[in-house]
Amino acid sequence: MTEHHTLNPDDLRVFSGNSNPELAADIAKCLGVPLEPTTIRRFTNDNLYVQLSASVRSRSVFIVQSLTPPVDSHLMELLMMLDIARSAAAKQVTAVIPYYSYARSDKKDAPRISITARLIADLLQTAGATHVMTMMLHSPQVHGFFSVPTDPLSSRGVFKQYFKQQDLEGTVIVTPDIGSAKSAARFARDLGGLPVAAGNKERLSDTEVKISGLIGYQVRGCSRAIVYDDEIATGGSMLELARILVREGVQDIQLVCTHGLFTHNALERLGAVPEIKAIVTTDTVYHPPAARHEKLVVVPVGHVFGEAIRRNYLGESLSDLFVFAKEEGDK
């Protein structure tokens, strides 16, 4: 990458697909550049038509697109936009994917299935991406599926800022399964060394889970619990955990996730639990303000992506923005 001393607005182009133009606009605002127009429509045969409405020749291009429902349409938009930028002689093309949904398809755990997280990573490179930015991948190994430089950004900083404003006396951090324990432990350290417990979870199907109990810190006697995960889809894990926590005497539960999909009326079902006081997520997945549940809190992450883009452009380190970033004093 060419070294720069200052960010040149004329050298940057930020575009957005249809998945989350509000977040894309926030990122562009943080960079001090406009969100350039993109024309997206469908022909009568259902084929997509995409056109970038500003010159990208010899410029650094950033295309913002979350892989949210309808995932296939949003993915195709992204691939076409990457191809357009490459074909129009962009200097570099960065796919900014706040929510990389296929990260959950990260292993071959049944015969004759695709490791789709790797497939999509290959498609992004083939389409023209020279760099990828994303946030809180479902599992660390997905990072290794990419053959182009990839920045796995963390949302812990914005959650730390949000919860530091609260009284955390008697609070325990709880994660739905052992696999997320390391991430939860980092978050617990961010909040001053809170104790951590993990659910003993068994996934029965895409929509059904069973949590038989908690492992680690004994939550009985804790007045509050912050349930921390990367994603909430149907909310099944969160409902199971809430049931166990209430049984253990916890009366104040806050749910925290980077990616709030909230499918199958998850928000309504979670919000109906009296002990769940708040459901905190980021804007990697767009939620129209008028349709938000009263318990839903959305914290913005556009400035995180904006800062990462700025540092990349200037050739500066991003290590403190990564998922695996260590706090001062960690070994």
pLDDT tier at 290 (50, 70, 90 boundaries)? confident
Mean pLDDT of 227-240: 92
Q: What percent of the chain has pLDDT over 90?
A: 76
pLDDT band at 232 (very low <50, low <70, confident <90, very high): very high
Q: What is the mean pLDDT of residues 298-326?
A: 91
pLDDT in tens, 94-134: 999 999 999 988 888 889 999 999 999 999 999 999 999 99
Active-site residue identified among 108, 201, 277, 331: 201
Residue 291: pLDDT band (50, 70, 90) is confident
Q: How far is CA 129 from the centre of its chain?
A: 19
Residue for token pair 């002990």: 275
* Whether the predicted pLDDT of 45 surpasses 60: yes
Interval 173-194 mean pLDDT? 89
Contact 22, 286 (CB under 8 A): yes
pLDDT on residue 221: 81
Q: Which domains does the chain have, with CATH numbers?
A: 9-154+302-321 (3.40.50.2020), 156-299 (3.40.50.2020)
pLDDT of residue 203: 66
Instruction: Report strand pairing: 150-153 vs 131-135.
Output: parallel
**Per-residue model confidence (pLDDT) at position 205:** 65
Query: Catalytic residue at 331?
Result: no
Least confidently predicted of 41-45, 140-144, 224-228: 140-144
Instruction: Give residue 183's pLDDT band: very low, low, confident or very high (50, 70, 90).
Output: confident
Whether the predicted pLDDT of 42 surpasses 60: yes
